[in-house]
A and B are shown apart, each in its own frame.
Chain A
Amino acid sequence: MGLKLHCRNQKSGFPRRWRKLLPRLVGILLLQCFATGRGQSQVIENEKPVPVVSGTAGFLTSVTAGQTLLDTQINPVLLVPLGDHWLVESRGEFEGQFQRQPGGGAFGGPVDKHLDYLQADYIANRYVTVTAGRFLTPFGIFNERLYPEWIRALQPDPLILPMATASSDGAMLRGGFPVSPAANLNYAAYVSATGIGVNGVESERHVGARLGFFFPHSRFEVGGSWQKALQDDRKNAFGFHFAWQPAAVPLSMHSEIVRSNQGSGYWVEGAYRLSQAQFWQKAMRRTELVAREQQFFSGNISSDEAQSLGLPGAGTRETDFGVNYFLKDGFKAVASYGRQFSSAGDFNQWTFGIVYRFLVPLGREGTP
Chain B
Amino acid sequence: MKRTLIFVFLLMLALSAFAGSSSKKGPSSTTPAVHAADADTMRMLGEQRFRANCGRCHAAPQKFPPRAMSTVLRHMRVRATITDEDMRLVLFYMTQ
Residues of A within 8 A of B (CB): 13-14, 18, 22, 25, 28-29, 32-33, 35-39, 43, 46-52, 54, 77, 79, 81, 87, 89, 121, 123-131, 141, 144-146, 150-151, 173-178, 181, 184, 186-189, 191, 207, 212, 214, 216-217, 219, 221, 228, 230, 234, 243, 245, 252, 273, 288, 326, 329-330, 357, 359, 361, 363-368
Asked if A87 meets B30 with Cβ closer than 8 Å, knowing A124-B16, A219-B55, the reply is no
The yes or no answer to B47 lying at the interface (CB within 8 A) is: no
Q: Is the CB of B55 within 8 A of A245?
A: yes
B45 to chain A, nearest CB (A): 11
Which residues of chain A are near B36, meaning CB under 8 Å? none
Q: Is the CB of B2 within 8 A of A18?
A: yes
Which residues of chain A are near B17, meaning CB under 8 Å? 32, 36
Per-position 1/0 for B5-33, Cβ under 8 A of A: 10011011101111111111011101000
Q: Is the CB of B13 within 8 A of A32?
A: yes
**In the complex, which of the residues B12, B75, B79 contacts A29, with contact meaning CB atoms closer than 8 Å?**
B12
**In the complex, which of the residues A174, A228, A361 contacts B4, with contact meaning CB atoms closer than 8 Å?**
A228
Which residues of chain B are near A359, meaning CB under 8 Å? 64, 68, 72
Chain B, Cβ-Cβ closest to A150 = B58
Q: Is the CB of A81 within 8 A of B71?
A: yes
Which residues of chain B are near A125, meaning CB under 8 Å? 19-20, 22-23
Which residues of chain A are near B11, meaning CB under 8 Å? 189
Asked if A128 meets B19 with Cβ closer than 8 Å, knowing A47-B70, A361-B67, the reply is yes
B57 to chain A, nearest CB (A): 5
**A161→B75 CA distance, assembly (Å):** 23
**A184→B18 CA distance, assembly (Å):** 17
What is the number of contacts between chain A and chain B, taking CB atoms within 8 Å? 200
Which residues of chain B are near A28, meaning CB under 8 Å? 13
The yes or no answer to B81 lying at the interface (CB within 8 A) is: yes
Which residues of chain A are near B79, meaning CB under 8 Å? 144-145
Q: Is the CB of B72 within 8 A of A191?
A: no
Show 10 A/B contacts (Cβ-Cβ < 8 Å), sorted by A. A32-B17, A37-B20, A46-B66, A47-B67, A77-B75, A87-B74, A174-B78, A217-B52, A366-B68, A368-B65
Q: Is the CB of B56 within 8 A of A368?
A: no
**A33→B15 CA distance, assembly (Å):** 11
Q: Is the CB of B1 within 8 A of A178?
A: no
Asked if A36 meets B77 with Cβ closer than 8 Å, knowing A13-B1, A178-B30, A234-B1, the reply is no
**A121→B5 CA distance, assembly (Å):** 22
Asked if A126 meets B83 with Cβ closer than 8 Å, knowing A36-B19, A178-B28, the reply is yes
The yes or no answer to B91 lying at the interface (CB within 8 A) is: yes
Q: Is the CB of B2 within 8 A of A52?
A: no
Q: Is the CB of B19 within 8 A of A364?
A: no
**A361→B5 CA distance, assembly (Å):** 40
Which residues of chain A are near B72, meaning CB under 8 Å? 52, 54, 79, 359
**In the complex, which of the residues B57, B66, B83, B86 contacts A368, with contact meaning CB atoms closer than 8 Å?**
B66
Q: Is the CB of A175 within 8 A of B66?
A: no
Chain B, Cβ-Cβ closest to A214 = B56
9 pairs of A and B residues whose beta carbons are closest in the complex: A36-B20, A365-B65, A176-B81, A127-B19, A186-B81, A366-B66, A125-B23, A49-B71, A366-B67
Asked if A36 meets B24 with Cβ closer than 8 Å, knowing A29-B16, A123-B77, A219-B56, the reply is yes
Chain B, Cβ-Cβ closest to A231 = B1
B75 to chain A, nearest CB (A): 5
Asked if A230 meets B81 with Cβ closer than 8 Å, knowing A125-B19, A365-B68, the reply is no
**In the complex, which of the residues B15, B22, B48, B68 contacts A173, with contact meaning CB atoms closer than 8 Å?**
B15
Which residues of chain A are near B19, meaning CB under 8 Å? 36, 124-128, 175
**In the complex, which of the residues B48, B71, B75, B78 contacts A131, with contact meaning CB atoms closer than 8 Å?**
B78
Q: Is the CB of A43 within 8 A of B81?
A: no
Which residues of chain B are near A228, meaning CB under 8 Å? 4
Residue among B68, B69, B85 with the most chain A CB within 10 A? Answer: B68
Q: Is the CB of B67 within 8 A of A49?
A: yes
Chain B, Cβ-Cβ closest to A128 = B19
Q: Is the CB of A14 within 8 A of B1?
A: yes
Q: Is the CB of B68 within 8 A of A37?
A: no
- Identify 6 new A-B residue pairs, CB closer than 8 A, beyond the known A33-B16, A47-B66, A176-B81: A18-B5, A35-B20, A176-B77, A176-B82, A207-B5, A212-B81
